[in-house]
Structure 1
Amino acid sequence: MAELDISTLTPQQLGPMLRCWAAGMENVEAGVELLIAHRYWLERADFRASCITADDEGWSPDGTICSIATIDWAAVADTAKDTDAPPAAGSMLRLACALADGRTHAVALGKELQNLDRSDVPLILEAVAHTTGWHHTDAPVQVTGTFEQ
């Protein structure tokens, strides 16, 4: 296996590599998908350099060899503690980390949700649903922002 230079990889290249690594671990898939969909962090070279490693020969879930990228969630948590990012981006990073590895990196959910931009909320709802396996059901859901049923 040969480690790839993370500085040469674009967010578009990293997406499939991260998905290959996370496949089958719903909580990690949710954290990865949140980072991919939000885009802010994967576009930051400093984040990629400190939190992501890539290799040209990893194992995919079906047993084939693929390029793979992994996230060091402990490094992500450290980045989230000391960041110059806007509050919403910092909260998205902490929430992605908590979804992927909540036993180690729990967050104060109410506090983090208050920082989110309107466009972030659907991403969080999708990530939470994914973590719980909702994507394996045929049950549709419509989020209205109210608790009426």
Structure 2
Amino acid sequence: MAELDTTTLTPDQLAPMLRCWAAGMENVEAGVELLITHRYWLERGDFRAACITADDHGWSPDGTICSIATVDWDAVTATAKDTDAPPAAGSVLRLACALADGVKHAVALGKELQNLEPSDVPLVLEAVAHTTGRHHADAALRVTGRFEL
């Protein structure tokens, strides 16, 4: 087993490694997918160095060996508090952390949602739906901006 330098890995290289680690934990899958789809944080070498650890030898959910990357949610919380990122990116980061480990990393949901850019909203909604298991139900989500079923 060899630790990998996360500062040299691209977001596209990290994505399957993070998914391998999060597989089967819906809340962690949601937080990881939000980081992957948003891309801002995974593109930052300082974030990868501080918050992500990677190894070339991990176990996938099906028992095969794969490269794996883990997120240190405590480090993510610290990064979210001390960053020069745009407010929307900070909110996405805090929301990803709260989805993955909300008991330990709760957020003021209304405040964080108000900071989002329009392009972030579907990503966050998809992540929230994922935590509820909607991805297993093959249910399509329709976001209209109106409260209707």
Q: Same fold (TM over 0.5)?
A: yes
Give, in angstroms, the shift of residue 78 of structure 1.
0.5
User: What residue number does 2:14 align with?
Assistant: 14
SS at 1:55's partner residue? strand
The separation in 1 between residues aligned to 2:47 and 2:138, in whole angstroms, is 36
Give, in angstroms, the shift of residue 11 of structure 1.
0.7
Letter in 2 for 1:142: R
User: What residue number does 2:96 align with?
Assistant: 96
Percent identical residues: 83
Task: List structure 1 segments (4+ residues) > 2 angstroms apart after TM superposition.
Answer: 138-141
Q: Which runs of 5+ in 1 are unaligned?
A: none
User: What residue number does 2:24 align with?
Assistant: 24
SS at 2:135's partner residue? helix
Q: Does 2:45 match 1:45?
A: yes
Give, in angstroms, the shift of residue 140 of structure 1.
2.7
Q: Normalized against structure 2, the TM-score is what?
A: 0.98
The separation in 2 between residues aligned to 1:107 and 1:30, in whole angstroms, is 16
The separation in 2 between residues aligned to 1:67 and 1:3, in whole angstroms, is 10
User: What residue number does 2:66 align with?
Assistant: 66
Q: Report Cα offsets for 1:61-118 as digits up to 9, x if no partner.
A: 0000000000000000000011110000000000000000000000000000000000
Aligned length: 149
Q: Report Cα offsets for 1:38-68 as digits up to 9, x if no partner.
A: 0000000000000000000000000000000
User: What residue number does 2:54 align with?
Assistant: 54
The separation in 1 between residues aligned to 2:141 and 2:7, in whole angstroms, is 39
The separation in 2 between residues aligned to 1:140 and 1:100, in whole angstroms, is 22
